[in-house]
A and B are shown apart, each in its own frame.
Chain A
Amino acid sequence: MLAHLPILQVIVPLMAAPLCWFLDRSKLVWLFALLVSGFSCLTSIVLLQQVMSSGTIIYQLGGWDAPWGIEYRIDELNALLLLIISTVGTIVLFAAQTSLQKELPRDRHTLFYSLYLLSLTGMFGIVATGDLFNVFVFLEISSLSSYALIALGKDRRALWAAYQYLIMGTIGATFILIGIGLLYQMTGTLNMDDLANRLAEVNQTRTVFAAFAFLIVGVCLKLALFPLHLWLPNAYAYAPSIVTAFLAATATKVAVYLLIRITYTIFGIELSFSILPLQNLFMILGLVGIFAASTAAIYKTNVKHIFAYSSIAQVGYMIIGYAINTSTGLMATLLHLFNHALMKSALFLALGAVMYRVGSVQLSQFQGLGRQMPLTMAAIVVAGLSLIGVPLTVGFISKWYLLVAAIEAGMWPVAVLVLLGSLLAVIYIWRIVETAYFRPPLPGREPVKEAPWTFLAPIWILVLANIYFGIDTRLTVQVAQAASQSLFGINP
């Protein structure tokens, strides 16, 4: 049983997704989905423990040896990502039942849980597999199900957002497919490890350069790197609240993982950072992304839009850590990956609670909510502080390591710009705080009650995690350090 954990992680939600249709009672399906994602959460914790104690786990599907068969390969990086996706997925799912009652007609609930599990499967698959073509297939499983999840939104603009996401997502995935094809043409293998070995012989050819460019552009479309982020704001803003909380915490993270995997494991550091001016390119795009997206967030009136733009800015921080191209920089990226998942899922879940009680997340509707929904608003404030990077929250930890990495690499201007970018976050968080606490309640509106406990429990678990991991950083730093050092080939 223990030996089969890598595959169980992927196969259990995949099998469970169609089973949802046999239950077909909203509450029952919810419990079932919760059970399944709880199981994958446990699996990922066990996997992480195994990896940390005994090194990389290799699982061969059907017993076929690696270059011919498909292998699943779990090292520190994969295990960390699996942990993020499965825990956030489970915690968010806990609030799903309450939230869906208000946002989705009853006959669509089964569909929702089924798609949710499929989307989870896709992400687990991308992360667990060591085979490049498998990545493409799982990428499409998770993308197709998330297009459908977004289209479930109540507003008709959700349909339009899902359509645009579908077009851009498919272009990105097809680019990745072209890149995989070119690599296969040059090496005759799809296994990541094998590719890395064989690419060494042919790495100065134009085909490999083209493959690299296609893969990078495709992945950057998926991770919403500025200026390829156009699909993201509307997709996040008009999707059902639960879907936003889930996707914001996982989808772009998986794409960042893919970027790291492709550049560090497959192409190798020297090749990746020498073919294209990748370091400068990503550094500039990351910085511009932070400022452009944060500024856009300041002017938005829909709070979901504000945090969607803030997500694009946060991707900028991850990309900067990556572009610094040192082991510390990569570690900062991985830490921010983990921490951002905690902050954004808490924030979007809290917005879901507001949606549940008020029925809208326009900024003007937040007036007076500070008194009427004290716990929800307090959660937004704490998670918002974490987003800014105030000490004692996780946001501080990741920004701290980012600054350390930038200064170690001698990039003073970058460090200063990162700090300035955080000030922009203060502005858009303050706008929400000001409206919620210092404005009188909207005239003519019934007093709003506090969100039900099914919402408050997951929100506060995430908020407390934000504080806990901001104080006790042993687990996160240790795993991120191990992962980044193994990618750089440093033996701890």
Chain B
Amino acid sequence: MVLGLYNYWIVVLLMMIGFYIVIAHGNLIKKLVGLTIFQTSVFIFYISMGNVDSGSAPILAEGVSRYSNPLPHVLILTAIVVGIATTALGLALAVRIKEAYGSIEEDEIQIQDQLTEDNSKC
């Protein structure tokens, strides 16, 4: 029962790992890596969900009568595209942040922001 659902355990594990990286790491690129792992775990979750026992890939072929559910695959194709767009935008922002602040470490950026804020007050 528990081992039979091993792919869901992997999903949960990856989800936790990804989420932890997003929260714990201060490096902007590492955060994005964590975010990607987090999103990928959801992709695996959808794909496992669409699986039918001894079903083949949902492509019409001779001699096959059992297919996996194609809908989750299609949905996740969309979600993958969205994930790519998010990662690309995040990386582009990281590049711009590096140009503007000279760093991609969260704490250094916050120190610089604090300095700007103090200057604008006086």
Contacts and interface: CB of A to CB of B under 8 A. Distances in A.
A160 B113 contact: yes
A151 B90 CA distance: 11
Given A159-B96, A163-B94, A163-B97, A181 B38 contact: no
Contact of A163 (B42, B72, B79, B90): B90
A159 B78 contact: no
Contact of B100 (A136, A159, A174): A159
B38 to A, nearest CB: 6
Contact of A157 (B22, B31, B116): B116
B93 A151 contact: yes
Interface string B69-96: 0011001001100100110011001101
A184 B72 contact: yes
B45 A162 contact: no
Nearest to A133: B75
Interface size, B (range): 20 to 34
A170 B100 contact: no
A56 interface: no
A156 B103 CA distance: 13
Contacts of A362: 120
B39 interface: yes
Contacts of B79: 136, 177
Nearest to B36: A170
B100 to A, nearest CB: 4
B18 to A, nearest CB: 9
B93 A166 contact: yes
Given A157-B113, A170-B35, A170-B86, A163 B49 contact: no
A160 B107 CA distance: 12
Contacts of A156: 97, 100-101
A140 B97 contact: no
A178 B76 CA distance: 11
A174 B82 CA distance: 10
Contacts of A331: none
Interface in A397-433: none
Contacts of B113: 157, 160
Interface centre among A144, A171, A174, A362 (most CB of B within 10 A): A174
A271 interface: no
A322 B75 CA distance: 31
Contacts of A177: 42, 79
Contacts of B17: none
Contact of B82 (A137, A167, A181, A184): A137
Contacts of B38: 171, 174
A415 B22 CA distance: 40
A159 B91 CA distance: 12
Interface string A160-189: 101100110011011001100100110000
Interface of B: 19, 22, 28, 31, 35, 38-39, 42, 45-46, 49, 71-72, 75, 78-79, 82, 85-86, 89-90, 93-94, 96-97, 100-101, 109, 113, 116, 120-121
10 contacts: A144-B85, A147-B89, A157-B113, A166-B90, A167-B22, A170-B39, A170-B86, A174-B38, A181-B42, A181-B72
Interface of A: 133, 136-137, 140, 144, 147-148, 151, 156-157, 159-160, 162-163, 166-167, 170-171, 173-174, 177-178, 181, 184-185, 301, 362
Given A144-B89, A147-B93, A170-B86, 18 more contacts: A137-B78, A147-B89, A148-B89, A159-B96, A159-B97, A159-B100, A160-B97, A160-B109, A160-B113, A166-B90, A167-B35, A167-B90, A170-B35, A171-B35, A171-B38, A178-B45, A181-B42, A184-B75
